Structure 1
Amino acid sequence: MSSVPLPPSARLSAAVVLRVSLVGLRGRPLRAALSALGIAIGVAAMVAVLGVGAASRQQLLDQIRTLGTDMLTVHPGQSLFGENARLPVESVGMVARVPSVRSVTAVGAVENGTVRRTDKIPEADTGGISVAATRLNLLTTLGGSVRSGVFLNSATEMYPATVLGSVAAGRLGVGQPGAQVYLAGHWFTVIGVLDSLPLNPEIDRSALVGWPVAEGLLGFDGHPTTLYERSDEEAVTAVREVLASAVNPRDPEEVQVSRPSDALTAQLAAASTFNSLFLGLGAVALLVGGVGVANTMVISVLERRQEIGLRRALGANRGQIRLQFLAESVVLSLLGGLSGVLLGVLVTLGYAASRGWPLVLPVQALAGGVVASTLIGAVAGLYPARRAARLTPTQALATG
């Protein structure tokens, strides 16, 4: 008696494969949700790290672009014998003669100068606020602005008037001009409060007074302690090389020259390093989630032997069984990945908004989260799918 060959198995369309895989997941919703949660946590961590890092990086880049990289600062260093050096009194005029220098200004620290709200507060309680004599073009050179009141001018610089940096005003409890503060043993009237200067935090913590009143009333010796210089962008390197010699031709080694924007650039590099670290932790979490998916699929194969045997008996071939379980694993991981991307986006937007950063969502991170979860699902489901496909109908039904 001749045997009649069985007809070839029908090809499963993508819609049928998707529907079958969803039926398998709906049969064990809690286990599927817990497995997808591992993938979601890993993807969310990676998206949040990349998203927050991108927002932080953009904020720093915007700040650098706004504040500029064309400013150099000059400080006194130390002499050959280890003593504190001093900048020459005429150093501002000497720097102004350097080619490509657009503007230069200076401040000078008033030694033993303290600022208190009243003379009843102990002198030792300084609040970290210093007193500095300033040139009138300080804000122009630094690119600063006055939050309230006015800055010093040619008239007020000769009288006991002061302008407070943003931090100094906060610590003294002064928000508006007109208040009196006890400055270096004298009463001064606050005529202005400055906005914050991110590149010059020392100004934020200072009470600024005019150069003439500092010399005549506060015992200031006229030697600047910090010079601020701005030059053409393309000439910053060349100016930096000659600035020390221009400030102090006799002892240029006693002069320190720096660029404040370098601190922001270093902060940008440090942020990138930490992003790489946290990204690695997110990848570990994603790997753990993949192991969870693999474990779930292995258990699913063991529990669904009867279903596998029945499908094989009805004509499903090994490839269709393998595709079914592989699709379940991929769909499970993909759902976890999409949930993780959504969670990561919400975390990024919330954190950026709370810090006042620009809202930046790197498309690569969003697409990468979905692709990574899909690949994890494919790899995690490969072994369970092959194991299910190896079962013969008689083996599966006998142990079902």
Structure 2
Amino acid sequence: MLTPATTKPVRLAPLDLVGLGLLGIRTRKLRAALSALGISIGIATMIVVTGIPASSQAHLSAELSALGTNMLQATPAPSNDRPVSLPEESVGMVSRIGPVIVASGVANTHAVVRRNDRTDPKDGSGLTVLASRLNLLQALNARIQQGHFLTEVTKKFPTVVLGSVAASRLGVTNVRVAGEAPQVMIGDTWFTVVGILERTPLSPEIDRSVLVGWDVARDVLGFEGHPTVIYLQSREAAIEAVRAVLPATIYPQSPSQVLVTRPSDALAAKRATENTFSALFLGLAAVALLVGGIGVANTMVISVLERRSEIGLRRALGANRGQIRGQFLTESVALAALGGIAGTALGLLATAGYATYHDWPIVVPLSSTLAGLGGAVAVGVIAGVYPSVRASRLTPTEALAAV
């Protein structure tokens, strides 16, 4: 004969507990769907209001980056006494600064460019002849419209690349005319045009320039090798630090003789967009989650009232309070989790559709997705605590009295 001392409560296996928790959802599908809908709306709202701004921000950041948010220029400071020349090795010194991605430079040769040898030797059409480093295009995010830029080979020979305005003023519209490349005259030497640049909105002075190789500028135009403008790109996060050390790096003997442009206003605008967060929309998402949680709690309370007979029968057959609590708490969490999964899928689809329509990159923060799923589970736990505790406190006689 079994005595109270020899009897042990039956433990439910995890799968059995999950099966009991899903019983109420399977038998009351419409009510479960409506309750989960509130959670779904909250989670979908949370993902949409973080995903759409993130996608928009990524698109805006790309556009602002194209405006040169990480670019700086260094030039000699104006002087009334004598012109200041930057050291010949200054471009290489700048390139060795840690956060600097690329550094390049140009130098004014003070030569005059003409369309041909029959024009006025003093009429340079308002154009500037610049000696250029080979990596200038990379430093300026510039592009070639026709032909090619200066290379290791062409920099030693009388070849030029024309800015867009310079090409127009010199009457050069194509780098190949009847199989021969057009030529312009710089000083007393003919130079062959090998390329034409597209417009460079970040550095409009390049549009009005004629670019020649560093070496040929020394050999033919009497260039002394001192750059007059240094262009650089740096990591955005370190742009202010680079600007602070740039004068001393370029001209250690007299840093005050170096003038450095301040970071682009576009950088401030980009950082402002990165720091802006939609608190209003997040508040709406929180309200939606709250409403969904109340809906789940209401469903669970009604479920306890409707299933009093089931609870009484299970208690009479030996189920303890912990098992009753586990059953209803599992049902509440499962209901909220299903709503969370559906809401996550809905939010991802809505974000992807909106971003694709506006031709934005699709960006959904992983944190918002995980927070949505975690929030759904948390809502399920909180909403299920009271109904599950209330169900577990029913004695078999109280529960069966309603039958």
Shorter-chain-normalised TM-score: which range? Answer: 0.5 to 0.7
Q: Report the alpha carbon displacement of residue 207 of structure 1 after superposing the two structures with TM.
A: 12
| Residues 91 and 247, structure 1, Cα contact 8 Å, conserved in 2 | no
Q: Report whether the alignment pairs 1:374 with 2:377.
A: yes
- The equivalent position to 2:246 in structure 1, one of 220, 239, 246, is 239
What CA distance in whole angstroms lies between the structure 2 residues aligned with 1:325 and 1:340? 22
| Residues 73 and 261, structure 2, Cα contact 8 Å, conserved in 1 | yes
| Residues 60 and 264, structure 1, Cα contact 8 Å, conserved in 2 | no
Q: Report whether the alignment pairs 1:392 with 2:395.
A: yes
What CA distance in whole angstroms lies between the structure 2 residues aligned with 1:298 and 1:141? 67
What CA distance in whole angstroms lies between the structure 1 residues aligned with 2:377 and 2:35? 14
Q: Which amino acid aligns with 1:398?
A: A
Q: Which amino acid aligns with 1:45?
A: T
What CA distance in whole angstroms lies between the structure 2 residues aligned with 1:19 and 1:339? 21
What CA distance in whole angstroms lies between the structure 2 residues aligned with 1:305 and 1:156? 88
What CA distance in whole angstroms lies between the structure 1 residues aligned with 2:287 and 2:339? 15
2:339 corresponds to which residue?
A: 336
Greater radius of gyration (CA): 2
1:284 corresponds to which residue?
A: 287
Aligned residues: 318
1:115 corresponds to which residue?
A: none
What CA distance in whole angstroms lies between the structure 2 residues aligned with 1:159 and 1:4? 103
| Structure-to-structure mapping, 1:271-310, within 5 angstroms | 271-274=274-277, 278-310=281-313
Q: 1:396 to 1:143 in 2, by over 3 A?
A: same
| Residues 308 and 321, structure 1, Cα contact 8 Å, conserved in 2 | yes
Q: Report the alpha carbon displacement of residue 265 of structure 1 after superposing the two structures with TM.
A: 5.9
1:24 corresponds to which residue?
A: 24
What CA distance in whole angstroms lies between the structure 2 residues aligned with 1:291 and 1:343? 21
Q: Report the alpha carbon displacement of residue 385 of structure 1 after superposing the two structures with TM.
A: 0.8
What CA distance in whole angstroms lies between the structure 1 residues aligned with 2:138 and 2:232? 10
- The equivalent position to 2:266 in structure 1, one of 263, 270, 279, is 263
1:125 corresponds to which residue?
A: none
Q: 1:134 to 1:42 in 2, by over 3 A?
A: farther
Q: Deviations over 1:235-271 (max 9, x none)?
A: 432236899xx9997xx9xx993212x6346424533
Q: 1:159 to 1:46 in 2, by over 3 A?
A: closer
- State the TM-score, normalized to the length of structure 2: 0.58
Q: Report the alpha carbon displacement of residue 378 of structure 1 after superposing the two structures with TM.
A: 0.7
SS state at 2:300 partner: helix
Taking every aligned residue pair, what percent have the same amino acid on both sides? 42
Q: Which amino acid aligns with 1:324?
A: Q
What CA distance in whole angstroms lies between the structure 2 residues aligned with 1:162 and 1:228? 26
Gap runs ≥5 in structure 1: 76-85, 107-131, 164-190, 212-226
1:12 corresponds to which residue?
A: 12
Q: 1:306 to 1:134 in 2, by over 3 A?
A: farther
Q: 1:36 to 1:161 in 2, by over 3 A?
A: same
Q: CA RMSD in A?
A: 5.4
Q: Which amino acid aligns with 2:243?
A: V
- State the TM-score, normalized to the length of structure 1: 0.58
What CA distance in whole angstroms lies between the structure 2 residues aligned with 1:209 and 1:196? 10
| Residues 331 and 377, structure 1, Cα contact 8 Å, conserved in 2 | yes
Q: Which amino acid aligns with 1:325?
A: F
Gap runs ≥5 in structure 2: 95-102, 108-126, 150-158, 170-194, 211-228, 236-240
